Amino acid sequence: MSGDASYTAVVRAAELAFPRGGRWMFFVYGAIGYAVLVREARFSWLYDVVVLLVIASSAGFSTWFFSRTGSRKFEADASGITVAEQKLSWSDIAQLRISAMRRGALLEVLLGPAARASYRGPLRRAADLVIMGYYPFFHSGRRYWPAVQVPRADPPRYLIPLLQVTPAELGSALARVAPGTPIVAA
């Protein structure tokens, strides 16, 4: 928290770095790599078990790491909310919902009817997960959209998982910088 003029918070790294569901793709990529290695290398069964344990441990650690860490990419001030360089003005926000989550608070930013939101359909979201796997190797300028920047539909809203903050702290801080915006604590 930095004064009454603005409020900053830590956003979970998985939602900043990957499309929705992306942190679980480490297991998918590991399974594919394991299947190729076992099929093509034809090592002993003991070596296959060791490789499976190493790949599963690596995928589990990566998933855990991106779930537990974050970056200070959330800011609320008099002009609106900024998340990962994406700005939402208070006039676009109809309501804020705050609920508890493990190690933090989940902020739902419900959009008003006049707000522009670009949704990504199920096929495009699946393509984002595939592109995520190739992105480090074939960086062609095309990129997938992080989960925190893609609104959900029905009702149109952004889900922002914030770490190291309680719902009560978040609610009181947002009430100071967002006068007139309804804040509902669940």
Global pTM reads 0.78
Q: Would you say 107 and 116 are in contact if contact means Cβ atoms under 8 Å apart?
A: no
The answer for residues whose C-beta is within 8 angstroms of residue 164's C-beta and 6 or more apart is 9, 10, 70, 103, 104
SS3 186: coil
18 pLDDT more than 90:
no
Tens-digit pLDDT profile for residues 139-181: 555 566 788 888 888 888 999 999 999 999 999 999 999 878 8
Tens-digit pLDDT profile for residues 86-115: 898 898 899 999 999 988 999 999 988 877
Report percent pLDDT > 90 for the chain.
38
Q: Would you say 85 and 72 are in contact if contact means Cβ atoms under 8 Å apart?
A: no
Distance of CA 177 to the CA centre of its chain: 24
Amino acid at 108: E
Sheet holding 6-12: strands in order across? 86-89, 80-83, 70-77, 6-12, 157-163, 104-111, 93-101, 183-185
